[in-house]
Amino acid sequence: MKVRVKKMVNIRGQGYEQGKEYEVEENLGKWMVDRDIAEEVAPAKPAVQPKEGIYVTAYDKFLELVGHHTVQIYGDYGTGKSRFVHAVATEAQILGKKVLYIDTEGSLSESHIKELQNYECLGDDLEGLVKRVEKAKKEKDEYDLLIIDSVGLPVLNAYARWTLEKKLAAIQKMAPIMADTVRFARDGNGLSIVTNQCVSEFTRVSKKLSEEEPLAPFGGKISFVPKLILRSEPLVRDAQKSEFRLLVFKARDLPRHFEVARFTIDSGGVRIEWRV
């Protein structure tokens, strides 16, 4: 589908300049036209269109799946979690949503950070994260989407540094963080998304898990607060592109290991293909 862009925008890492024409995937083109971001140059189909295949943004898809609650996306390092939630954030901004992006990992590039309207980098300051999320809960009327990338890293780093007596306290700090993300979403009619790491491979040995059994998110039962927990797994990794899939670890209406989405990262940005 060919569209002419009305105002400069960035969608999933792809820049579209004002006044220029682009050949885009049809569902994306319809979505841009519906929101007055672009106008269609030449209809690709008759005026009456089928209802199936309507382009759905990640923000709307997650609301459909969990309502006003928290989504957790976890996985090993390098499984695309930060790039995925960054794409969700920038897409939501195009919708006119106010997004608060709290970064504890610092894995985004400067160009990606500049695409975020409300970005805060806390580093691995665990106490600072607890206080900032508590504040975000009170700011629920100012934002539609809260993203924490990630909730696990500050806890993991504190756990590694603290004494044996304080290690349990580090994990327990996740409880108020997770609870406040839910309150932010529920009380503000919004959405929260947090990323997390896997538990250690030592867990597989201690619990005698098979190699085929996927590891759980870090934090034990505390990390199970989100209504939807998805595991990110790599499918393809090469110099040109990386492809990942999001599988259900915990969901209200979906079976375990169900593939919810695939997303591809390449020079054009992040593209998401939903399976639900």
Tell me: the pLDDT tens digits for 3-53?
Answer: 888 888 887 668 888 888 888 887 888 888 888 888 888 654 433 343 455
Number of domains making up the chain = 2
Kindly state whether residues 186 and 253 are assigned to the same domain: yes
Residue 76 in any domain: the answer is: yes
Residues 77 and 37 in one domain: no
Residue 261: the pLDDT is: 96
Output the pLDDT for position 50.
Answer: 38
What is the per-residue pLDDT across 79-113, written as a single tens digit (0 to 9) for each? 999 999 999 999 999 999 999 999 999 999 999 99
CA dihedral 73, 75, 80, 86 (to 10 degrees): 30
Nearest of 115, 116, 153, 151 to residue 130 by alpha carbon: 151
- Same domain assignment for residues 38 and 62: no
CA separation for the pair 172, 45 (Å, rounded): 56
Q: Are residues 65 and 165 in the same domain?
A: yes
213: which residues sit within 8 A by CB, 6+ positions away?
A: 204
For residue 246, what are the β-bridge partners? 232, 261
In a domain, 51, yes or no: no
In this structure, the answer to whether residues 188 and 87 fall within a common structural domain is yes
Evaluate if residue 167 carries a pLDDT over 80.
no
Compute the mean pLDDT over every residue in the chain, rounded to the nearest whole number: 88
The three-point CA angle 108-81-236 to 5° equals 105
Burial of 62-71, coded b for 16+ CB within 10 Å and e otherwise, reads bbebbebbbb
Q: What range defines the domain where residue 7 resides?
A: 2-42
53 located within any domain: no
